[in-house]
Structure 1
Amino acid sequence: MNMTVRASYVRWSEPVYLRIGYGMPETIRSPKEALNHLLFRWPTIRGEKYQSAANLCSAANGNPFLCEQARKIFVEACVEADVLD
């Protein structure tokens, strides 16, 4: 039996809740959503964890086995940027 996993449907076991600036709280459920936020919505000042999170979230889009590692580093980047809700 062959098992096919579509990377675009990879989701984290638990979502990450964040708030950027004065915006509404947001729920991030996957490496793809996290990467989108990192690239297009993240605060201008970026810490050490930012690039690691972007790289790992990008890699997790093509490799579901990296999914939970990507979540962990994304949470660390959120803490560093003070956007964790």
Structure 2
Amino acid sequence: MASETPRRLEVSSASGPTVLILEPQDRDDVCLNTLTEGSFKEKIIDVDFHLIWTSPVFLRLGEGLRERIDGPDAALAQLHNRWPPDSHPEYAAAKRRCVDAITRRGSSELARAAFIEAAALAKVLS
């Protein structure tokens, strides 16, 4: 398998912001390095970056073309890298739901519903 670049995700929780650095180990596992207030922990978690929703979500960001989002991994990438600066509480909820789906702690379809809600409020739903 080709080496993939680690992904850096910032997730908010009740204990404060956490930076997750996801380093692919093989097809279904990832090394999760967690940095919280200067501490460092490492553990292997089971993830699925290849989840596909039953039907895609379409976005239009800025003046760009219509974009097709097929699953929580692509949705998380949009939320993290390309989302409009005015974010609502639904934005953070959508990020959490997508991370939960990817790490197999939550439903992919619940992540889709949260993503649609955040997209509608951000006025990027196409």
Q: TM-score, normalised by structure 1?
A: 0.89
Q: Which has the higher helix share?
A: 1
Q: Runs in 1 of length 4+ with deviation above 3 angstroms?
A: none
Q: Which has the higher contact order (CA 8 A, sep 6+)?
A: 1
What amino acid maps onto 2:53 in structure 1? Answer: W
- Count of aligned pairs between the two proteins: 82
Alpha-carbon shift at residue 48 of structure 1 (Å) = 1.7
- Contact 2:100 / 2:106 at 8 angstroms: preserved in 1? no
Q: Does the aligned pair in 2 maintain the 1:31–1:70 contact within 8 Å?
A: yes
Task: Calculate the aligned-residue CA RMSD, in Å.
Answer: 1.8
Structure 2 CA distance for aligned equivalents of residues 64 and 51 of structure 1: 17
Shift of 1:49: 0.5
Aligned-residue sequence identity (percent) comes to 36
The answer to whether residue 61 in structure 2 is matched with residue 20 in structure 1 is yes
Q: Which residue of 1 aligns with 2:16?
A: none
Q: Provide the C-alpha distance between the structure 1 equivalents of 2:73 and 2:50, rounded to a whole number of angstroms.
A: 9
Larger radius of gyration: 2
Cross-structure match for 1:66: 107
TM-score for both structures, normalised by structure 2: 0.61
Task: Say which SS state the counterpart of residue 69 (structure 1) adopts.
Answer: helix
- C-alpha separation in 2, matches of 1:82 and 1:22: 12
Structure 2 unmatched ranges of 5 or more: 1-27, 29-46
Long gaps (5+) in structure 1: none
Correspondence 1:23-34 to 2 at 5 A: 23-34=64-75
Separation of aligned partners in 2, 1:65 and 1:39:
19
Map Cα deviations across residues 32-79 of structure 1 (whole Å, 9 max, x no partner).
000000000000110120000001101111117510000000000000
Give the strand-richer structure, 1 or 2.
2
* Whole-angstrom CA distance in 2 between matches of 1:48 and 1:37: 16
